[in-house]
Structure 1
Amino acid sequence: MSESFEIGAPPIAVVLKKSARARRFSLRISNVDGTVSLTMPKRAAKRDALAFATAQEGWMRKHLDKQPDRIVPVFGGTILIDGAPVLLLQGQGRRVVFNAEGLAVPGTPEQLAGKLRAYLKTMARDRLSDASERYAAQVGRKVSRITLRDTRSRWGSCTSDGNLMYSWRLVMAPRAVQDYVAAHEVCHLLEMNHSAAYWANVAAVYPDYQAQRQWLRDHGAQLHRVVL
């Protein structure tokens, strides 16, 4: 179990993690969301961890200053859907409405993030479920279950019993990228690895996969910058 503490002014939040395999203190700053993590040996004292982090405050601030700004959705601003910016409007009633004018979200500014997240997750489930079933039919396999998460280290995963997991943030990427990730995970139903045979299967169902992989390398971090 992890805990956190703050150092300096303005404060830097540091997540403290104990590891039985760690032999020394080590700091890591996530390129995705700027989270600062300090891993410490299991038997080390917390006061020593605090002293180590304090000594590294300058290093942390230097690297945090290079982090891209986080994006907080606001009415009048935009949100990416299918790789294109969509205007966020203050809607009426109880339902989110998506049309040519933009995305109308009912409620207060404080409720915007929660309602927007719920809507995007529903949209992502529909898109990725349809794509998964389509590619599964092409390779002659069946999908057992699909779950959505807000993962940081991967866009999707596949288990040997046919369960697929996707990051719901993929709905902000172009449709071609969404389709590629679905094809990528479905092909793991044939090969639970990244061998040459596996990539041959991906190329067979999605020939243009290299361009979509590159899009995620170039722009994937931008999807995680949105605070939802």
Structure 2
Amino acid sequence: MGQHILDGNPPLSLILRKSTRAKRISLRISQLDGRVTLTLPRHVSDAEGIAFAREKESWLRGHLEKRGEDQGIALGTRLPIEGVHRELVAGTGRRVALQSDTLHVPGKPEQIAARVQAFLKQMARDKLAAASDHYANVLGQPYSRLTLRDTRSRWGSCSSAGALMYSWRLILCPPEVLRYVAAHEVAHLAEMNHSSAFWDTVTRIHGPYAAPRDWLRQNGSGLHSYKF
């Protein structure tokens, strides 16, 4: 594991990683923190890898710009909740309260991020459980359990044992996007692949899915820029 800086405005920091399993050079941008990892097969030199990264510099900068800068969570932050940007404002009492264009958060400033995250996780669990129950009923196959994580590379998964996992950040998406992801993972209860039969199952239990899938592809990485 090493590091290299590509000159430019701004400079780009690359994490260099050697892998015995890698068959070719690859570049990966972390959705969570924007770190760029350059993975090299053992037989490829660092210089060859860096030359490859320079060839892809425009692609890298474009994706990093699209991802946006990291945003802290504090009073005054505008945070998308169910696809609607709400301003975080000081609240009273004990509970976080969601309004049409604001989220009222009581507590000390240093507690704001943790309180907002806890509120969003519970809201995500409620919405994802309801959507998963609905699509599982339509499919006619139950799932075994549901868990939430803050995953880097996927929005959800379904295990061979029928366990569903989702990113809690789906609560930041428009509701139709969250429901699509739930339908996608529930469809794996019947088809543990991405064959035409799988996509037919998604269509059968959800309906057309191109619009929410495209929204997630175009906007999903930006949801990881919010740092709690």
Task: State how 1:78-117 maps to structure 2 within 5 Å.
Answer: 78-100=78-100, 102-117=102-117
Corresponding residue of 1:176: 176
Measured at CA, do residues 64 and 93 of structure 1 come closer, stay the same or move farther in structure 2, by a change above 3 Å?
A: farther
What stretches of structure 2 of length at least 5 have no aligned partner?
A: none
Equivalent residues of 1:70, 1:227 under 8 A apart: no
Measured at CA, do residues 19 and 142 of structure 1 come closer, stay the same or move farther in structure 2, by a change above 3 Å?
A: same
C-alpha deviations, 1:118-157, integer Å up to 9, x for none? 2211111111011101111111111101111112221111
Distance 2:184 2:116 in 1: 27
Cα offset for 1:216?
1.0
Distance 1:203 1:58 in 2: 41
Corresponding residue of 1:28: 27
Distance 1:202 1:144 in 2: 19
- In the alignment, is residue 70 of structure 1 matched against residue 69 of structure 2? yes
Corresponding residue of 1:165: 165
Equivalent residues of 2:23, 2:41 under 8 A apart: yes
Q: 2:27 is paired with a residue of what secondary structure? A: strand
Task: State how 1:1-228 maps to structure 2 within 5 Å.
Answer: 14-22=14-22, 26=25, 28-30=27-29, 32=31, 33-40=33-40, 66=62, 67-68=64-65, 69-72=68-71, 73-100=73-100, 102-228=102-228
Measured at CA, do residues 14 and 81 of structure 1 come closer, stay the same or move farther in structure 2, by a change above 3 Å?
A: same
Equivalent residues of 1:92, 1:105 under 8 A apart: yes
Normalising by structure 2, we get a TM-score of: 0.80
Equivalent residues of 1:7, 1:54 under 8 A apart: no
Measured at CA, do residues 64 and 191 of structure 1 come closer, stay the same or move farther in structure 2, by a change above 3 Å?
A: closer
Distance 2:40 2:211 in 1: 40
State the percentage of identical aligned residues: 45
Equivalent residues of 2:6, 2:13 under 8 A apart: no
Cα offset for 1:207?
1.1
Measured at CA, do residues 134 and 19 of structure 1 come closer, stay the same or move farther in structure 2, by a change above 3 Å?
A: same
Distance 1:203 1:196 in 2: 11
Distance 1:206 1:54 in 2: 44
Normalising by structure 1, we get a TM-score of: 0.80
Distance 1:189 1:85 in 2: 34
Distance 1:126 1:218 in 2: 25
Report the AA paired with residue 28 of structure 1: L
C-alpha RMSD over aligned residues: 3.1
The size of the alignment, in residue pairs, is 221
Cα offset for 1:99?
2.5
Distance 1:75 1:199 in 2: 42
Report the AA paired with residue 95 of structure 2: R
Equivalent residues of 2:84, 2:101 under 8 A apart: no
Cα offset for 1:180?
0.9
Measured at CA, do residues 146 and 7 of structure 1 come closer, stay the same or move farther in structure 2, by a change above 3 Å?
A: same
Measured at CA, do residues 100 and 211 of structure 1 come closer, stay the same or move farther in structure 2, by a change above 3 Å?
A: closer
Equivalent residues of 1:132, 1:183 under 8 A apart: yes
